[in-house]
Amino acid sequence: MTCLLRLLLILMLPLARPPGAVAAEGGGIAIVLSSNLKPYQEALTGIRDAVHQDISPQLMTDGEPVLSKDTRIVIAVGGKAALHSYPDDVVLIYCLAPGLNLAAKGKRRTIGVETSPPLQTMVSRLKQLQPAMKRLGVIWVSESVEKSLATKDQVKAAVGVEIVSTHLESADDLPKVLRKLKGSVDALWLPPDPQLISRANLATIQSFSWANKIPFYAPTAALAAQGAVAAISSTFEEMGKAAGKAARGVQQGTPVGGTVYPESVHTTVNAAAAKEVGLVIPEAIMIAADKVTQ
Protein backbone atom coordinates (compact mmCIF):
# COMPACT_ATOMS: atom_id res chain seq x y z
CA MET A 1 0.00 0.00 0.00
CA THR A 2 2.77 2.34 0.90
CA CYS A 3 4.51 1.55 -2.33
CA LEU A 4 1.28 2.19 -4.14
CA LEU A 5 0.95 5.57 -2.48
CA ARG A 6 4.56 6.44 -3.26
CA LEU A 7 3.97 5.54 -6.90
CA LEU A 8 0.85 7.69 -6.93
CA LEU A 9 2.74 10.62 -5.45
CA ILE A 10 5.52 10.17 -7.96
CA LEU A 11 2.98 10.21 -10.79
CA MET A 12 1.35 13.38 -9.40
CA LEU A 13 4.63 15.15 -8.82
CA PRO A 14 4.65 16.93 -12.17
CA LEU A 15 1.25 18.39 -11.41
CA ALA A 16 2.66 19.94 -8.27
CA ARG A 17 5.23 22.00 -10.21
CA PRO A 18 4.66 25.73 -10.39
CA PRO A 19 3.02 26.79 -13.68
CA GLY A 20 6.01 28.76 -14.95
CA ALA A 21 8.59 26.29 -14.07
CA VAL A 22 7.73 23.78 -16.71
CA ALA A 23 7.59 24.65 -20.37
CA ALA A 24 4.04 24.57 -21.63
CA GLU A 25 4.50 22.10 -24.35
CA GLY A 26 2.52 21.09 -27.36
CA GLY A 27 3.38 17.93 -29.21
CA GLY A 28 6.67 17.71 -27.32
CA ILE A 29 7.84 21.15 -28.35
CA ALA A 30 9.12 23.58 -25.74
CA ILE A 31 9.95 27.19 -26.43
CA VAL A 32 12.60 28.99 -24.41
CA LEU A 33 13.24 32.74 -24.81
CA SER A 34 16.41 34.44 -23.62
CA SER A 35 14.33 37.35 -22.40
CA ASN A 36 11.21 39.25 -23.11
CA LEU A 37 12.99 41.30 -25.77
CA LYS A 38 10.75 42.48 -28.57
CA PRO A 39 12.60 40.58 -31.36
CA TYR A 40 12.19 37.38 -29.35
CA GLN A 41 8.47 38.03 -29.00
CA GLU A 42 8.19 38.54 -32.75
CA ALA A 43 10.02 35.29 -33.33
CA LEU A 44 7.63 33.57 -30.89
CA THR A 45 4.74 34.71 -33.02
CA GLY A 46 6.37 33.15 -36.07
CA ILE A 47 7.00 29.89 -34.23
CA ARG A 48 3.41 29.61 -33.04
CA ASP A 49 2.24 30.36 -36.53
CA ALA A 50 4.39 27.60 -37.98
CA VAL A 51 3.63 24.89 -35.43
CA HIS A 52 -0.03 25.82 -35.29
CA GLN A 53 0.06 25.69 -31.55
CA ASP A 54 -0.19 28.39 -28.89
CA ILE A 55 2.75 27.21 -26.87
CA SER A 56 3.68 29.24 -23.81
CA PRO A 57 7.37 30.07 -23.75
CA GLN A 58 9.81 29.95 -20.83
CA LEU A 59 11.96 32.98 -20.21
CA MET A 60 15.54 32.56 -19.16
CA THR A 61 15.13 35.67 -17.05
CA ASP A 62 12.56 33.77 -14.96
CA GLY A 63 15.02 31.07 -14.13
CA GLU A 64 16.32 27.80 -15.48
CA PRO A 65 13.93 26.28 -18.02
CA VAL A 66 12.40 23.02 -16.97
CA LEU A 67 11.39 20.52 -19.63
CA SER A 68 8.80 17.82 -19.24
CA LYS A 69 9.51 14.29 -20.01
CA ASP A 70 7.55 14.56 -23.21
CA THR A 71 9.71 17.29 -24.54
CA ARG A 72 11.38 16.17 -27.69
CA ILE A 73 12.06 19.48 -29.32
CA VAL A 74 13.27 22.70 -27.73
CA ILE A 75 13.05 25.87 -29.78
CA ALA A 76 15.49 28.32 -28.22
CA VAL A 77 15.10 31.98 -29.12
CA GLY A 78 18.20 34.06 -28.46
CA GLY A 79 21.78 33.12 -27.71
CA LYS A 80 21.32 32.73 -23.98
CA ALA A 81 18.47 30.32 -24.45
CA ALA A 82 20.40 28.44 -27.13
CA LEU A 83 23.47 28.03 -24.94
CA HIS A 84 21.52 26.52 -22.09
CA SER A 85 22.23 22.88 -21.37
CA TYR A 86 19.37 20.75 -22.53
CA PRO A 87 19.05 16.98 -22.34
CA ASP A 88 20.81 15.17 -25.11
CA ASP A 89 17.63 13.47 -26.24
CA VAL A 90 15.88 16.64 -27.29
CA VAL A 91 16.35 18.26 -30.65
CA LEU A 92 17.51 21.84 -30.17
CA ILE A 93 16.33 24.32 -32.74
CA TYR A 94 17.64 27.80 -32.14
CA CYS A 95 17.09 31.16 -33.77
CA LEU A 96 17.98 34.83 -33.23
CA ALA A 97 21.32 33.59 -31.91
CA PRO A 98 23.76 35.23 -34.27
CA GLY A 99 27.30 34.02 -34.12
CA LEU A 100 26.33 30.66 -32.66
CA ASN A 101 27.21 27.40 -34.36
CA LEU A 102 26.08 24.55 -32.13
CA ALA A 103 25.80 21.96 -34.84
CA ALA A 104 29.16 20.52 -34.26
CA LYS A 105 28.94 20.47 -30.48
CA GLY A 106 27.90 17.39 -28.53
CA LYS A 107 25.77 14.51 -29.59
CA ARG A 108 22.51 16.38 -29.49
CA ARG A 109 20.89 17.11 -32.77
CA THR A 110 20.79 20.88 -33.32
CA ILE A 111 19.28 22.94 -36.06
CA GLY A 112 20.26 26.60 -36.37
CA VAL A 113 18.17 29.27 -38.08
CA GLU A 114 20.46 31.73 -39.75
CA THR A 115 19.94 35.40 -39.10
CA SER A 116 21.07 36.34 -42.56
CA PRO A 117 19.96 34.81 -45.83
CA PRO A 118 22.32 32.53 -47.78
CA LEU A 119 25.50 34.33 -48.86
CA GLN A 120 24.67 34.25 -52.55
CA THR A 121 21.19 35.64 -51.98
CA MET A 122 22.58 38.34 -49.81
CA VAL A 123 25.38 39.34 -52.21
CA SER A 124 22.98 39.33 -55.15
CA ARG A 125 20.79 41.78 -53.32
CA LEU A 126 23.80 43.94 -52.50
CA LYS A 127 24.85 43.83 -56.14
CA GLN A 128 21.44 45.19 -57.05
CA LEU A 129 21.89 48.03 -54.63
CA GLN A 130 25.42 48.74 -55.79
CA PRO A 131 25.77 47.47 -59.34
CA ALA A 132 29.40 48.62 -59.61
CA MET A 133 30.45 46.46 -56.67
CA LYS A 134 33.25 44.02 -57.53
CA ARG A 135 34.87 43.33 -54.20
CA LEU A 136 32.96 43.00 -50.96
CA GLY A 137 34.93 43.13 -47.77
CA VAL A 138 33.69 40.94 -44.89
CA ILE A 139 35.21 41.34 -41.42
CA TRP A 140 34.40 39.02 -38.57
CA VAL A 141 35.56 37.82 -35.20
CA SER A 142 33.32 34.87 -34.29
CA GLU A 143 34.42 31.57 -35.72
CA SER A 144 30.85 30.76 -36.57
CA VAL A 145 30.85 33.34 -39.35
CA GLU A 146 33.42 31.39 -41.33
CA LYS A 147 30.86 28.71 -42.10
CA SER A 148 28.53 31.19 -43.73
CA LEU A 149 31.34 32.34 -46.00
CA ALA A 150 32.15 28.86 -47.24
CA THR A 151 30.35 29.48 -50.54
CA LYS A 152 32.21 32.66 -51.42
CA ASP A 153 33.82 31.14 -54.52
CA GLN A 154 30.49 30.03 -55.86
CA VAL A 155 29.15 33.49 -55.13
CA LYS A 156 31.95 35.09 -57.07
CA ALA A 157 31.24 32.83 -60.01
CA ALA A 158 27.52 33.36 -59.84
CA VAL A 159 27.23 37.04 -58.90
CA GLY A 160 30.58 38.38 -59.98
CA VAL A 161 31.49 39.79 -56.59
CA GLU A 162 34.65 38.72 -54.88
CA ILE A 163 34.31 38.23 -51.14
CA VAL A 164 37.34 39.61 -49.33
CA SER A 165 37.02 37.85 -45.98
CA THR A 166 39.11 39.19 -43.09
CA HIS A 167 39.14 37.47 -39.75
CA LEU A 168 39.93 39.64 -36.71
CA GLU A 169 41.57 38.11 -33.71
CA SER A 170 39.62 40.53 -31.60
CA ALA A 171 37.44 43.55 -32.13
CA ASP A 172 40.40 45.67 -31.12
CA ASP A 173 41.96 44.90 -34.49
CA LEU A 174 39.10 46.66 -36.28
CA PRO A 175 40.88 50.00 -36.98
CA LYS A 176 43.94 48.25 -38.36
CA VAL A 177 41.86 45.98 -40.60
CA LEU A 178 39.78 48.85 -41.88
CA ARG A 179 42.94 50.75 -42.85
CA LYS A 180 44.11 47.67 -44.66
CA LEU A 181 40.86 47.27 -46.57
CA LYS A 182 40.77 50.87 -47.71
CA GLY A 183 41.14 50.96 -51.47
CA SER A 184 40.85 47.24 -51.91
CA VAL A 185 37.11 46.76 -51.52
CA ASP A 186 34.04 48.47 -52.98
CA ALA A 187 31.87 47.85 -49.96
CA LEU A 188 31.85 46.26 -46.52
CA TRP A 189 29.43 43.75 -45.11
CA LEU A 190 29.15 43.12 -41.42
CA PRO A 191 28.04 39.55 -40.72
CA PRO A 192 25.82 38.93 -37.67
CA ASP A 193 28.78 38.68 -35.35
CA PRO A 194 28.03 39.66 -31.71
CA GLN A 195 31.72 39.84 -30.93
CA LEU A 196 32.27 42.47 -33.55
CA ILE A 197 29.11 44.50 -33.42
CA SER A 198 29.05 46.97 -30.61
CA ARG A 199 28.09 50.62 -30.52
CA ALA A 200 31.73 51.69 -30.54
CA ASN A 201 32.67 49.42 -33.43
CA LEU A 202 29.63 50.53 -35.40
CA ALA A 203 30.65 54.15 -34.88
CA THR A 204 34.17 53.31 -36.06
CA ILE A 205 32.91 51.53 -39.16
CA GLN A 206 30.43 54.28 -39.98
CA SER A 207 33.08 56.98 -39.74
CA PHE A 208 35.39 54.92 -41.95
CA SER A 209 32.62 54.28 -44.45
CA TRP A 210 31.45 57.86 -44.76
CA ALA A 211 34.94 59.32 -44.80
CA ASN A 212 36.19 56.95 -47.53
CA LYS A 213 32.90 56.69 -49.43
CA ILE A 214 32.83 52.92 -48.97
CA PRO A 215 29.28 51.75 -48.34
CA PHE A 216 28.83 49.28 -45.52
CA TYR A 217 25.92 46.91 -45.16
CA ALA A 218 24.46 45.56 -41.92
CA PRO A 219 23.03 42.13 -41.04
CA THR A 220 19.83 43.41 -39.44
CA ALA A 221 17.33 46.07 -40.29
CA ALA A 222 17.84 47.65 -36.89
CA LEU A 223 21.50 48.34 -37.69
CA ALA A 224 20.62 50.04 -40.96
CA ALA A 225 19.58 52.98 -38.85
CA GLN A 226 23.07 53.10 -37.30
CA GLY A 227 24.69 54.41 -40.47
CA ALA A 228 24.70 51.37 -42.73
CA VAL A 229 23.58 51.97 -46.31
CA ALA A 230 21.30 48.95 -46.28
CA ALA A 231 20.52 45.68 -44.53
CA ILE A 232 19.62 42.40 -46.21
CA SER A 233 17.83 40.29 -43.63
CA SER A 234 14.67 38.57 -42.65
CA THR A 235 12.17 39.65 -40.08
CA PHE A 236 12.36 38.12 -36.66
CA GLU A 237 8.94 36.62 -37.23
CA GLU A 238 10.20 34.89 -40.38
CA MET A 239 13.12 33.52 -38.42
CA GLY A 240 10.74 32.18 -35.79
CA LYS A 241 8.59 30.75 -38.53
CA ALA A 242 11.61 28.97 -40.02
CA ALA A 243 12.37 27.52 -36.59
CA GLY A 244 8.77 26.39 -36.20
CA LYS A 245 8.77 24.73 -39.61
CA ALA A 246 11.98 22.94 -38.75
CA ALA A 247 10.32 21.68 -35.56
CA ARG A 248 7.36 20.39 -37.49
CA GLY A 249 9.71 18.76 -39.96
CA VAL A 250 11.47 16.99 -37.08
CA GLN A 251 8.11 15.94 -35.65
CA GLN A 252 6.96 14.59 -38.97
CA GLY A 253 10.28 12.89 -39.66
CA THR A 254 11.06 14.85 -42.77
CA PRO A 255 14.71 15.60 -43.40
CA VAL A 256 15.84 18.88 -41.92
CA GLY A 257 19.41 20.12 -42.32
CA GLY A 258 21.57 21.57 -39.58
CA THR A 259 21.09 25.09 -40.90
CA VAL A 260 17.87 26.56 -42.15
CA TYR A 261 17.15 29.98 -43.59
CA PRO A 262 14.09 32.15 -43.35
CA GLU A 263 12.00 31.98 -46.49
CA SER A 264 11.71 35.70 -47.18
CA VAL A 265 14.42 38.29 -47.50
CA HIS A 266 13.88 41.97 -46.79
CA THR A 267 15.83 44.96 -48.01
CA THR A 268 16.05 48.02 -45.78
CA VAL A 269 17.68 51.12 -47.30
CA ASN A 270 19.07 54.07 -45.39
CA ALA A 271 18.84 56.80 -48.02
CA ALA A 272 20.70 59.32 -45.88
CA ALA A 273 23.66 56.98 -45.44
CA ALA A 274 23.66 56.21 -49.18
CA LYS A 275 23.83 59.92 -49.89
CA GLU A 276 26.67 60.33 -47.39
CA VAL A 277 28.80 57.76 -49.19
CA GLY A 278 27.78 58.99 -52.63
CA LEU A 279 25.98 55.82 -53.60
CA VAL A 280 23.17 56.25 -56.12
CA ILE A 281 20.79 53.37 -55.67
CA PRO A 282 18.77 52.53 -58.81
CA GLU A 283 15.29 53.92 -58.68
CA ALA A 284 13.69 50.52 -59.27
CA ILE A 285 15.53 49.06 -56.29
CA MET A 286 14.47 51.95 -54.11
CA ILE A 287 10.86 51.34 -55.13
CA ALA A 288 11.16 47.60 -54.53
CA ALA A 289 12.85 48.04 -51.13
CA ASP A 290 10.78 46.85 -48.20
CA LYS A 291 11.70 49.88 -46.12
CA VAL A 292 13.47 53.15 -46.86
CA THR A 293 14.61 55.36 -44.03
CA GLN A 294 15.74 58.93 -44.56
Residue ranges in contact with another protein by CB under 8 A:
34-35, 37-39, 78-80, 83, 96-99, 192-195, 197-199, 219-220, 222-223, 225-226, 236
Amino acid at 109: R
CB of 180 to another protein, least distance (A): 23
Other C-beta atoms within 10 Å of 110: how many? 22
Sign (positive or negative) of CA dihedral 51, 56, 61, 67: negative
Task: Tell me the C-alpha distance between 209 and 207, whole Å.
Answer: 5
Helix or strand (DSSP H, E) at 65: none
CB of 219 to another protein, least distance (A): 7
CB of 220 to another protein, least distance (A): 6
Cβ atoms 127, 159 nearer than 8 A:
yes
Q: Calculate the CA dihedral of residues 242, 243, 247, 249 and round it to 10 degrees.
A: 30
CB of 7 to another protein, least distance (A): 42
47 versus 250: smaller Cβ distance to another protein = 47
Task: Tell me the C-alpha distance between 174 and 205, whole Å.
Answer: 8
For residues 13-43, one letter each, b for 16 or more C-beta atoms within 10 angstroms of the residue's C-beta and e for the rest, the string is eeeeeeeeebbbbbebbbbbbbbebebbbbb
91 versus 221: smaller Cβ distance to another protein = 221
Task: Tell me the C-alpha distance between 294 and 292, whole Å.
Answer: 7
86 versus 128: smaller Cβ distance to another protein = 86
CB of 226 to another protein, least distance (A): 6
28 versus 98: smaller Cβ distance to another protein = 98
CB of 232 to another protein, least distance (A): 14
SS3 of 221-288: HHHHCCCCCEEEECCHHHHHHHHHHHHHHHHHCCCCCCEECCCCCEEEEEHHHHHHHCCCCCHHHHHH
CB of 114 to another protein, least distance (A): 13
Amino acid at 159: V
154 versus 198: smaller Cβ distance to another protein = 198
97 versus 277: smaller Cβ distance to another protein = 97
24 versus 225: smaller Cβ distance to another protein = 225
CB of 178 to another protein, least distance (A): 18
80 versus 156: smaller Cβ distance to another protein = 80
